[in-house]
């Protein structure tokens, strides 16, 4: 399928850029002279810029099509990728991460838009899960392979190589993406950006999906993208390479989880129960990590792998939300949901950095500071699931 050839390489890099910082945390923090709070903001910059870009991206997908939308924004991301590799201080690095976030902002949404517009609705969840599963190879690249490359060549040359790859993916997407025919509303008109957002906000069930959308993916992305490697090095004394292997384990289970969830959703024809049970088990996993994670290195690795597998409900939750959007709002509707996913990740990443720094400043030990953060993660997941249970499975006839 041409969508995979055109956009999958870009999506692999998008996944990489949202998750790589954990593995090279020590050299980046040391080189830029920053602490946990600034590091959290560095990771959050990608997610915040990505999230804010969702609104114009959604409008652009519906109005001017995915080809020009992807080409223009990925060109901006290419600039950011090269800038990050050469950043001389935290401010430049943070700005560069924001530019990369803008560049990555339309990739997944353009893919989902094309799936929704060109494929049968029954195939949407499966295709999305396969795309996410294959794209999650970026998670693997941002784990042990990144740690090995950074140790051998330094983090800056390694990131420069990824910047070159991002530029090549930009060219590939611009050449291969094709726009589907435009769609109008029932009156035959295009809704503007604000009117479209107003129509989306009027869809009541989305508000019951909003809490779990904000925190479900965000917490998994934060654990994988920021804190698993520092946790394994600071709590269990692993070196950077060994921590990279632990990160690789979580990244692998996230890929497996994406494929398994996609298969289960296709077989069951519904998403809600899978999302709810998966999020509950993830919450329990973080609770166990808080309770006993510091007692056993292997136990901690296993629990991170568990939450990676069960918590990666991103695709089927997106498929659930897709049920409520009319055809002329598919682009803006899905980008609105993705805004919630990514804005939540930005807030959780920034908040977690602030939380860990505050805990340490208050005299808490490293293990206890991480445990308290994991308790907060567990509580957010369980409360959001309780709200989600009130959402309908499908749009009322």
- pLDDT tens digits, one per residue of 6-39: 899 999 999 999 889 888 988 999 999 988 888 8
State yes or no: pLDDT of 328 exceeds 80. Answer: no
- Give residue 311's pLDDT band: very low, low, confident or very high (50, 70, 90): very high
Q: What is the CA radius of gyration of the chain?
A: 20
Task: Give the pLDDT mean for 177-185.
Answer: 72
- Give residue 189's pLDDT band: very low, low, confident or very high (50, 70, 90): low
In this prediction, residue 322 carries a pLDDT of: 80
- Give residue 65's pLDDT band: very low, low, confident or very high (50, 70, 90): confident
List the Cα angle 355/315/172 in 5-degree steps: 100
Task: Give the percent of the chain with pLDDT over 90.
Answer: 48
- Give residue 188's pLDDT band: very low, low, confident or very high (50, 70, 90): very low
In this prediction, residue 345 carries a pLDDT of: 86
In this prediction, residue 190 carries a pLDDT of: 54
- Give residue 183's pLDDT band: very low, low, confident or very high (50, 70, 90): low
In this prediction, residue 300 carries a pLDDT of: 96
Indicate whether this model's pTM tops 0.85. Answer: no
In terms of Cβ atoms closer than 10 Å to its own Cβ (0-12, 13-18, 19+), residue 88 is exposed
Per the model's pLDDT, the better-predicted residue between 184 and 247 turns out to be 247
In this prediction, residue 114 carries a pLDDT of: 87
Cα separation of 202 and 227, whole Å?
Answer: 37
Q: Give the CB-side neighbour count of residue 149, counting CA atoms within 13 A.
A: 16
User: b/e per residue, 213-245, with b = 16+ CB within 10 A?
Assistant: bbbbbbbbbbbbbbbbbbbbbbbbebebebbbe
Asked if 259 contacts 130 with a C-beta cutoff of 8 angstroms, the reply is yes
Cα separation of 391 and 389, whole Å?
Answer: 6
In 3D space, the residue among 111, 18, 29 whose CA is nearest the CA of residue 349 turns out to be 18
Cα separation of 341 and 339, whole Å?
Answer: 5
Q: For the chain, what is the mean pLDDT? A: 88
Annotate 178-226 with DSSP letters as a single string: -PPPP---TTS----HHHHHHHHHT-THHHHHHHHHHHHHHHHHHIIII
List the Cα angle 342/51/211 in 5-degree steps: 45
Per DSSP, 227 falls in state: I
């Amino acid at each position: 399928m041409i969508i995979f050839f055109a956009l999958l390489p870009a999506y692999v890099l998008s996944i990489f850029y949202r998750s790589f910082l954990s593995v090279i945390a020590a050299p980046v923090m040391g080189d830029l002279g920053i602490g946990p709070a600034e590091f959290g903001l560095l990771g959050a910059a990608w997610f915040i810029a990505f999230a804010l870009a969702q609104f114009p991206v959604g409008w652009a997908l519906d109005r001017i099509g995915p080809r020009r939308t992807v080409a223009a924004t990925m060109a901006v991301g290419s600039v950011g990728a090269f800038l990050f590799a050469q950043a001389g201080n935290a401010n430049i690095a943070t700005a560069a991460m924001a530019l990369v976030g803008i560049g990555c902002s339309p990739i997944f949404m353009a893919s989902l838009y094309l799936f929704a517009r060109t494929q049968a609705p029954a195939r949407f969840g499966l295709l999305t899960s396969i795309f996410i599963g294959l794209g999650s190879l970026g998670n693997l690249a941002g784990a042990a392979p990144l740690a090995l490359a950074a140790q051998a060549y330094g983090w800056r040359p390694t990131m420069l190589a990824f910047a070159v790859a991002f530029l090549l993916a930009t060219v590939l997407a611009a050449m291969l993406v094709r726009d589907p025919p435009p769609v109008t509303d029932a009156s035959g008109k295009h809704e503007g950006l604000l009117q479209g957002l107003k129509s989306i906000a009027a869809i009541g069930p989305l508000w019951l999906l909003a809490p779990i959308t904000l925190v479900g993916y965000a917490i998994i992305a934060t654990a994988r993208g920021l804190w698993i490697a520092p946790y394994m090095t600071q709590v269990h004394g692993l070196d950077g390479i060994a921590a990279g292997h632990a990160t690789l384990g979580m990244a692998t289970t996230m890929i497996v989880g994406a494929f398994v969830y996609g298969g289960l959703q296709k077989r069951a024809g519904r998403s809600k129960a899978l999302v709810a049970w998966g999020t509950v088990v993830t919450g329990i996993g973080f609770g166990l990590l808080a309770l006993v994670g510091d007692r056993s290195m292997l136990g901690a690795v296993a629990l991170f792998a568990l939450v990676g597998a069960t918590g990666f409900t991103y695709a089927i939750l997106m498929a659930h939300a897709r049920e409520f959007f009319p055809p002329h709002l598919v682009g803006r509707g899905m980008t609105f949901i993705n805004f919630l996913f990514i804005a939540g990740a930005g807030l959780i990443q920034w908040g977690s950095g602030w939380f860990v720094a505050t805990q340490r400043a208050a005299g808490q030990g490293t293990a206890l500071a991480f445990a308290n953060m994991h308790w907060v993660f567990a509580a957010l997941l369980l409360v959001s699931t309780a709200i989600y249970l009130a959402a309908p499975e499908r749009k009322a006839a």
